[in-house]
Amino acid sequence: MTNRAPSSRQARAASRPPSTSPTAGNATSPATRGTATLGARTASPPAAGRIRAGQRRGRGGNLADRGPAPTGTATGWRRGASPRAAALLAYGLGLIDILSAVTPPGHRRMAELRAILPTGIPEHARTLTVLVGVLLVLLAHGLARRKRRAWQLVLALAAVSTVLHLLKGLDYDDAVGSAAVTGWLLYRHRDFHAEPDPSSRWRAVGAFAALFGLSVGSGLLMLRLGWSRSISEYPLSEQIEHVLGGMIGIHGPVGFASGRIDRMVARTLAAMGLLTVALPTWMALRPPRPHPRHDADDEARLLDLLARHGGDDSLGWFALRRDKAVIWSPSRKSAIAYRVVGGVMLASGDPLGDREAWPGAIAEFLRVAARHAWVPAVIGCSASGGTAWTRAGLTALELGDEAVLSVDDFSLDGRAMRGVRQAVARVERAGYEAKAARVRDLPAAELAELSRLTRAWRGSERERGFSMALGRFAECAAGAGGQVGPDDGGRGGDGDDKAAVAACAADCVAVTAVSLPEAGRVPPADGDTAPAGGAVRGLLHFVPWGSDGLSLDMMLRDPRADNGLTEYLIVATVRAARELGVRRISLNFAAFRQALELGGRLGAGPAARSGRWLLVFLSRWFQIESLYRFNARFQPAWQPRYICFPTSRDLPRVAVAMMEAEAYLTWPRPWRRSRQPQHPG
């Protein structure tokens, strides 16, 4: 990536690196691979005009997959000033409605109003104005996200607010303000086009908390702004008691100057209490709109793309995660796997499939993001993928490096490999042996035992990973039941019966370390079966990376196992690679590797040393330095990985979404259920 616009020929050349270009790594807890958070260097997107011309002159591929579609779509997800201004206006109008309704009216205007309308209408209008103000405050966030439904509701509420201001006390200034907001929203109606997000019952809890706080605050304001002339005689506890009791229809201890005011306050508090209960209840009981998931047809097409183009990206196989949906190019020659987290449409790795079809898939991805007002972002893409995303208008930032081992070049000889060599020798002397096999070749009973051990070793720790973890170890084929386990009936029987694993798991490789009963026994030759009585102490699980590569998915070990077992398993994988037809192995992902190296060099400047100190400090909670040092022990080839996002203003939100997707940041889910795959509507 450069800081200037390349020529069209250079752009095409940059988008076609060798097919063996490695991919992004696997930073995680000991359980699975995952990523840390942010990156180190920026790359300016090339000039849009030059890129559009280069795309039109591209060779091959479907015309629907190329051309100016990506750059034309890019502006759709960029939020202008209008949505933010509309949100501020909605907040302001809602607060004005609340304050105007809880403040006692002027006597002269009320006298004029009583001469025109019956006495009860202004009191009811005042109660409704409070409710309208509360709803406007709640809906303002939807306007900031361009939600069409939020715009419709705010428009209707602003129009109703205009009428209510006149009915409750001839408040002409407030009515003019509400009418002005209504007219401005009508004028800017084209800015609010986003469809609703998938619904979640967790939002009902948030709505209840917000409504409860607004209702209690509005009730206390009503009591303290002149409705009760002797309010100072009542302590705050009795005022809160009066408000809470009024919200459920119970009269509190606070007295009022007249019965009319008492009835009006009681009616307003009861209405706010009803709204506080009714709206969250409706949100919790309405039919949920499921989050998009890929279905069986999508998975079959993805497997076909991976069979033809899987060697381009070591993260390609992780597109088969259950919690990812899929965006297809118009020609269906390319696809992008993604998940929506906190309003961020987060893709992982490079687009799958034909590189000539990438622009079409990216354009469709940005179009869906614009339709829902989601922030588009990418985690863990390679240099070629980052170039394609920056051409569509995103900004690239280097996140770290992936460690890739070459089977032909790997050796334990030399001083640099002394630590790994000693660890492997120590484990071998302790009486361990390793076995590597494709998952489809494992007996059902052995696979069931491995599934049980992975759950036991992980314990209560949540499985981490999104961009660099599959999360489908030993999954059964369709119609064969759930995941392979000890209670799987006849499928987990004795003998050498093969387990009916799913297509996504069949070509994966499981490397196990077994502790033999006789300590100090010389390990048998590669490929021998572990003797009966040996206990499995460690497991590496790899997914395919094309026809000649493996990409690390899961790394687990028994806490009681000897030190150095993980190094032993990795070396055993390299030793068995030739029999498996493997020539390259993708290991863990080292976040901020360059920053760690630069800060530790002789003569590093204050900025580099400070950056390294900060990363070492953060390593107490995130595996940053430890993963880098572990990967460096194997003398790998480092391949950079990037994140892509629209603007620097969106980076904090994207960072939080990345941490949530990778399970470094978790939220309580009181209604969390296991979801069946849904078609991405």
pLDDT digits (tens, 9 = 90+) for 511-524: 999 987 654 444 44
pLDDT digits (tens, 9 = 90+) for 341-365: 888 899 998 999 999 999 999 999 9
pLDDT recorded at residue 551: 92
d(Cα 480, Cα 484) in Å, to the nearest integer? 9
pLDDT digits (tens, 9 = 90+) for 68-82: 444 434 444 555 667
Residue 569 in this model has a pLDDT that exceeds 80: yes
User: CA quadruple 357, 360, 361, 362: dihedral positive or negative?
Assistant: positive
Is residue 157 within 8 A of residue 137, CB to CB? The reply is no
Is residue 520 within 8 A of residue 431, CB to CB? The reply is yes
Q: Over the range 559-596, which residues count as b (16 or more CB within 10 Å of their CB) and which as e?
A: eebbebbbbbbbbbbbbbbeebebbbbbbbbbbbbbbb
What does the radius of gyration of the chain's CA atoms come to, in whole angstroms? Answer: 31
d(Cα 144, Cα 129) in Å, to the nearest integer? 23
pLDDT digits (tens, 9 = 90+) for 144-177: 877 888 888 888 888 888 888 888 777 787 888 8
d(Cα 180, Cα 191) in Å, to the nearest integer? 17
Q: State both tokens at 81.
A: 């000033």
What backbone phi and psi angles, to 5 degrees, belong to 137?
A: -65, -40
Q: Which of 215-219, 512-516, 643-647, 654-658 has the lowest mean pLDDT?
A: 215-219
pLDDT recorded at residue 73: 41
375-381 and 637-645: which strand pairing? Answer: antiparallel
Q: Which helix (H) or strand (E) holds 41?
A: none
What are the start-end ranges of the H helices in 400-499? 418-429, 444-458
What backbone phi and psi angles, to 5 degrees, belong to 618?
A: -70, -20
Question: Confidence band (pLDDT; 50, 70, 90) for 602?
Answer: confident
d(Cα 391, Cα 5) in Å, to the nearest integer? 10
pLDDT recorded at residue 7: 42
Top pLDDT among 557 and 53 is at 557
325-328 and 344-348: which strand pairing? Answer: unpaired
**C-beta neighbour count of 528 within 10 angstroms:** 10
pLDDT digits (tens, 9 = 90+) for 411-468: 999 888 999 999 999 999 888 989 998 888 888 888 888 888 888 888 766 667 787 8
Is residue 43 within 8 A of residue 1, CB to CB? The reply is yes
Top pLDDT among 483 and 580 is at 580
Residues above pLDDT 90, as percent of the chain: 17
Q: Collapsing DSSP states into helix, strand and coil, what is residue 543?
A: strand
> What mean pLDDT is reported for the chain?
74
